[in-house]
Chain A
């Protein structure tokens, strides 16, 4: 069974600081997705990582994928309050064909 672990689960940081969220998974996969969820809202797709070494950047967020280490990172640069949300990674298991397995989510709070 595929396991997806995110850490930290809770992150409180100050504006202007940098931090990284980690997503580890337990089986072979070269497709990983990052989503953002605001309180009371649905999930919004942030990044699609489709191969080893993939790196995507959007504004202050950068995501990368290392399939050999079974690790993805979501790096936050110079955080701002608007980035406060819960971030999920999801792994597409190579043999599943019909499911993504989500991590528990990282609740990020950016304080002024």
Chain B
């Protein structure tokens, strides 16, 4: 198993659909992250789960809902998205301490297109 795996790799959805992105890490890390990468914009941290706490970027709309059932799995639930939400969604994991994030290991990404 590769370090961080994401599914699906590509997703096309309408604005009224509900879908989920899945991420699994096999590195024994204790923190997982969702990043959004849009064209010509910096990487945007959406959500962090570390030491069983959730930290979120307050600018992320509520139509994105994360779920982290355990330290190895992370989901991003999507509902009533907008076309501007089309982007590459990257999952990452790290061995986090209270002082440092640690090196991030990224999955291959899920390319989302909202019609």
Interface residues of A, Cβ cutoff 8 Å to B: 31, 33, 35, 40-45, 48, 88, 90, 92, 94, 96-100, 102-105
Contact = CB atoms under 8 A, between A and B. Distances in A.
15 contacts: A42-B90, A42-B106, A43-B90, A45-B103, A45-B104, A94-B99, A97-B50, A97-B97, A97-B99, A97-B100, A98-B31, A98-B101, A99-B101, A100-B101, A104-B42
Interface size range on B against A: 20 to 34
A49 to B, nearest CB: 11
A90 B44 CA distance: 12
Contact of B42 (A33, A94, A102): A102
B108 A92 contact: no
Contacts of B100: 31, 92, 94, 97
B42 A99 contact: no
Q: Which 3 A-B pairs have the closest CB atoms?
A: A102-B43, A43-B106, A42-B106
A97 B100 CA distance: 5
A44 B104 CA distance: 9
B42 A96 contact: no
B99 A33 contact: no
B103 A48 contact: yes
Contact of A97 (B42, B90, B101, B104): B101
A100 B90 contact: no
